[in-house]
Structure 1
Amino acid sequence: MSEPLILVTCRQMQVELPRYRERIENLGYDVVAPELAGRQQFTASELLDYSHRLVGIIAGDDELNREFFDGAAKLKTVIRWGIGMDSVDHDAARQHGVTVRNTPGVFSHEVADSAFGYILNLVRGYIDVDAAVRRGEWPKLEGITLAGARLGIVGFGAIGREVAKRGQGFGMDVVAFDPYVDGASADVSIVDIDQLLKTSRFIVLACPLTPETFHLINAERLALARSDAYLINVARGPVVLEADLIGALKSGRLAGAALDVFEVEPLPLDSEFRTLPNVVLGAHNASNTREGVVRASNAAVDFLIEELAR
């Protein structure tokens, strides 16, 4: 009889797998890391090719929908490498008795660092200056001082709190919106989202993608923002209705944006974001540091083994 199978589909975890393979195999499991071939995730039908032996998966942004859970009869646990859980049909998992865990708190420093990297690029134009100097020019772009400016953070979990610490370190006036945080216990002022948008020069999105946050930032909310405000999204792409953001950026309703994540990834070649000079584009890579990858991989394997032992 074939050994039960552990599938590793997350690209970063696949790179780390040689450090963990023996530990998992010694417990009686076969370990398979299928090739992603330049893509970000697997479809449910592709994952179900392994369903006859599949008992556990360390997943990336794969299509873990009802089709997947209905077809994976032997599956015991899904470990979502990283933080985001929006690719998982949690109702279907519960109905099939499959435990689902992520690796919370492993990237809070990294994503907060990236948020400030984006902010600094927006206000000091480092990307443009670098390109100009390489062309033989010597530009003197006027920037914006961060000290004294209001930083509004949407989502005050582990990442949001680290963003706040960095903002305070820059001497910024920090406020946050999070309906699940008690304002009396927070170390920054908790305000409603309308007030945050109306008063913040810098708006950092650091919330999870849920039904409540899907297209949270749309034309109606962008209309509340200051015309000199900058939006930084290090959360999930669909938190922003991109067509509305593009309209605000083109019209001058918003000064600029930095986007690490998008509604469709990789960013389509015909995306209008590519043509806008007041946007800094990322590649959903804010969390990707050597230390962060090791931290998340350690947690993922520990959680996998813990769940399989139940």
Structure 2
Amino acid sequence: MKLVVTCKQMQAELPRLKSILEDHGFEIHAPSLEGRQQFSASELIEFTSDATAIIAGDDELSDEFFRGCPDLRVLVRWGIGTDSVDFESASQHGVTVRNTPGVFNDEVADMAMSYVLALARRTIEIHQAVANGDWPKIEGATLSGATLGVVGFGGIGRAIVKRALAFGMSVKVVDPYASASDLSNFGVHSTDLETLARESRFVVLACPATEETFHLVDESFLTSMRDDAFVVNVGRGTLVDEKALILALKSSSIAGAALDVYESEPLPSKSELRALSNVIFGSHNGSNTREGVARASDKSVQVLLECLIN
């Protein structure tokens, strides 16, 4: 069985996992991304047209891809997000699609809280000033007693809530699929999106990209926020209307933002966000720790074997 691994992080784990896969009859191919973050559908087809399985990263897993891979039986999307997958086409072509949910809860939650801390205490601004020879006394904000609004109460959202509560923050959650008992067990309050926007000092987005969550943070949401509030996005770039966010940041109608993800990735060189001093930038790297990569890669192999062998 031909297995193609296009996820860059997973490719780094192949020396450790190669014997397991080969013992189960897989012939492994790992095409080089050569500085790219992902393959287009047409590029993928060059490697996968005769493949039985693929462990993919943020590649273009579109109808074109599935039509060009008639032998494909299993697609494992390394990591959590599946918004790049055309599920309808996969189903039509008889391809089982799986991902590796839950493997990065702590890693992404750590990143979210690191952004909250950096925004609250303005640590990057202070670092840059000291590096330039200054000795600033920049006033920050205390987390204890501040309200954190979390959008999304899945594994990552819950891990964020645990950390926020440990800092003594008051936590509000928006998630139409979260049960009252789950929220109660965590000691947090469910609310609606408008209230969360209005009352939160920090808003953290940790929900998936769906039709319902597209541009969840729009002009209306941002207008409702406090002028001393911050937006942190560790979910998906399409959760935020970047044009509306840029206007809010330029006008100081909100205090700042930390973005690990963007509507277009990598962040375009001409993006107006780059010129703003009240934004902290990430590179869609919240899950990337040594432990997290190993965990997700192990899970990918487990899922693959469950689908094709067991």
Q: Same fold by TM-score, threshold 0.5 exceeded?
A: yes
Q: 3-state SS of the aligned residue for 1:22?
A: helix
Q: Where do 1:239-254 residues align within 5 Å?
A: 239-254=239-254
Q: Does 1:111 align with 2:91?
A: no
Distance across 1 between alignment mates of 2:49 and 2:145: 59
Distance across 1 between alignment mates of 2:132 and 2:41: 48
Normalising by structure 2, report the TM-score: 0.97
Alignment: residue pair count: 307
Report what 1:16 is aligned to: 13
Report what 1:264 is aligned to: 264
Deviates more, 1:119-128 or 1:181-190: 181-190
Q: Does 1:304 align with 2:301?
A: no
Report what 1:54 is aligned to: 51
> CA shift at 1:279, angstroms?
0.4
Q: Does 1:155 align with 2:152?
A: yes
Q: 1:205 touches 1:235 (CA, 8 Å); kept in 2?
A: yes
Deviates more, 1:16-25 or 1:103-112: 16-25
Q: 2:207 touches 2:235 (CA, 8 Å); kept in 1?
A: yes
Deviates more, 1:150-159 or 1:266-275: 266-275
Correspondent of 1:63 among 60, 63, 67: 60
> CA shift at 1:95, angstroms?
1.5
Report what 1:132 is aligned to: 129
Structure 1 residues 52 and 66: CA distance shift in structure 2, 3 A: closer
Distance across 1 between alignment mates of 2:74 and 2:138: 52
Per-residue CA deviation, residues 51-97 of structure 1 (Å, 9 max, x unaligned), is 44211011101000111112211111111111001000111111112
Distance across 2 between alignment mates of 1:59 and 1:51: 11
Distance across 2 between alignment mates of 1:35 and 1:295: 22
> CA shift at 1:121, angstroms?
0.9
Q: Does 1:35 align with 2:32?
A: yes
Q: 1:115 touches 1:232 (CA, 8 Å); kept in 2?
A: yes
Q: 3-state SS of the aligned residue for 2:11?
A: helix
Q: 1:209 touches 1:238 (CA, 8 Å); kept in 2?
A: yes
Per-residue CA deviation, residues 252-272 of structure 1 (Å, 9 max, x unaligned), is 111100000011111111111
Alpha-carbon RMSD? 1.1
Report what 2:295 is aligned to: 295
Per-residue CA deviation, residues 120-157 of structure 1 (Å, 9 max, x unaligned), is 11111111211211222111110000011100000010
Distance across 2 between alignment mates of 1:268 and 1:103: 29
The percent identity for this pair of structures is: 55
Distance across 1 between alignment mates of 2:244 and 2:253: 11
Q: Where do 1:172-251 residues align within 5 Å?
A: 172-186=169-183, 187=186, 188-251=188-251
Q: 3-state SS of the aligned residue for 1:20?
A: helix
Distance across 2 between alignment mates of 1:168 and 1:72: 48
> CA shift at 1:27, angstroms?
2.1
Distance across 2 between alignment mates of 1:185 and 1:303: 28
Q: Which segments of 5 or more consecutive residues in structure 1 lack a partner in the other structure?
A: none
Q: Which segments of 5 or more consecutive residues in structure 2 lack a partner in the other structure?
A: none
> CA shift at 1:26, angstroms?
2.2
Distance across 2 between alignment mates of 1:20 and 1:131: 42
Distance across 2 between alignment mates of 1:59 and 1:80: 5
Report what 1:273 is aligned to: 273
> CA shift at 1:36, angstroms?
0.7
Distance across 1 between alignment mates of 2:198 and 2:167: 21
Distance across 1 between alignment mates of 2:181 and 2:271: 42
Q: 2:48 touches 2:54 (CA, 8 Å); kept in 1?
A: no
Name segments (4+ residues, structure 1) moved above 6 Å. none
For 1:223, give the aligned amino acid. Answer: T
Correspondent of 2:83 among 82, 86, 90: 86
> CA shift at 1:309, angstroms?
1.7
Q: 1:51 touches 1:73 (CA, 8 Å); kept in 2?
A: no
Normalising by structure 1, report the TM-score: 0.97
